[in-house]
Amino acid sequence: MGDKPKTVRQPMPPLKVWFGPVAVAWLIPGGGHFLLNRRGRAALLFFAITSMFLLGLMMRGALFRPKVGDLLTTLIYCGGFLGDLAAGLLYLLTVWLGYSQPEVAGHVHDYGTKFLVGAGLLNVLAMVDAYEIAAGRKN
């Protein structure tokens, strides 16, 4: 039979190379790309993530809080909380300013909740992109 080709793993770049841009990318959407002199991409990410988060707030979406119960409840609530938290400073300011919406039935509220989590998940993709650019794996 044929041997599988071995993949060559690239070594992990030093922490000081990528930690700053990734941390700033978490706090401020597009901030990591701004530090890496990718101004157009930074502006696009800032606009997309911030507008998605603000639309979620305007639709009165609920922010997730970690809740432990059965497996599905734990996955939904803890995963939703991590998705919200991934929005960085947008989430932190929202919580600090006391925004709190109860979970209510309705399509608009449900979409708003999904927009809030979606903004955080989009920010995670931006953080991964900032890491790859800082590590020299992507232009």
pTM: 0.86
What residues make up the domain containing 41?
15-134
Q: What is the pLDDT of residues 7-58, one digit of tens each?
A: 777 788 888 889 999 999 999 999 999 999 999 999 999 999 999 999 999 9
In a domain, 139, yes or no: no
In a domain, 5, yes or no: no
Count of domains for the chain: 1
**Which residues does 74 contact at the CB level (< 8 Å), separation at least 6?**
67, 68
In a domain, 3, yes or no: no
